[in-house]
Amino acid sequence: MFKPNTLARGQLVLLLSFPFLLVACGDDTKEVEVIVEVPAPVPTPVDVSYQITVTNLTHDQPLSPLAVVLHDSGNLWTIGGVPSVELERMAEGGDNSGLLSLGLVSASGAAPIGPGENETVEITIQDKTDAYLSVASMLVNTNDGFSGLNAWHLDNLAVGESWTTTLGVYDAGTEVNSELAGTIPGPADGGEGFNAMRADTGFVAMHPGVVTSDDALASSVLTAKHKFDNPALRITVMRSQ
């Protein structure tokens, strides 16, 4: 009986087809075709990388650590829409962990970004050039103000190309903008961050700005230096690979 050779494990072999003459009985012979099939090699994954640089344009509003998320579809927030709990946690207390869990891949900023400062975060995804990019950060001397980029389509960028935009400030609509002592987590107050109770409009909108003690709101812990104009952020996205 004929036994074909056993292939060494991991050996690459083309699809082979060849005849053999086998003696079955007496002078009778049969032609037997032996086919060895080897699966096609799995393509090596290709990294697609981006560098996201965020600059804080405000006078005295530190930004919470960035949440950088690549996703297939949808939005992290919608003007007029009900904010997710993940967005609420970030907008009230600067906690980006919930938003980071929502994407295909994500990356966090290393630390808060002070006024006039910037940070570059690199993020990599494999075999995908048409993801959506979202970036979010809290203005920590507010009750629930945040800024960021929402679902920008990355298929616009080739390797080596970059794109820059400026962004305004949103109100998460989850906490009333009282500016009372104990309600703001930033250095202006050191108060409470996330609170699950929603006491404001319940929908995301553009932020109306802060009203400070210098504006005759005696109960506010903020001063004129904490006020901000739009835009509050500058973001540059560069495809590096």
Give the closest residue to 148 by CA, choosing from 122, 130, 168, 173: 168
> What confidence score (pLDDT) does residue 23 get?
46
What average pLDDT does this structure show over 1-25? 45
The pLDDT of residue 30: 65
What is the separation of C-alpha 24 from the centre of its chain, rounded to a whole number of angstroms? Answer: 68
Is residue 21 very low, low, confident or very high in pLDDT (cuts 50, 70, 90)?
very low
Give pLDDT tens digits for 134-164: 999 999 999 999 999 999 999 989 999 999 9
48-69 mean pLDDT: 98
User: Are 70 and 133 a contacting pair, CB within 8 Å?
Assistant: yes
Domains along the chain with CATH numbers: 47-239 (2.60.40.2130)
Q: Which of 12-16, 47-51, 127-131 has the lowest mean pLDDT?
A: 12-16
**For the chain, what is the mean pLDDT?**
90
Tell me, what's the pLDDT at 155? Answer: 94
The whole-number pLDDT of residue 211 equals 95
- What pLDDT band is residue 16 in, cutting at 50, 70 and 90? very low
> What are residue 238's DSSP bridge partners?
51, 162
pLDDT exceeds 50 at position 6:
no
Report the distance separating Cα 234 and Cα 167, nearest Å. Answer: 6
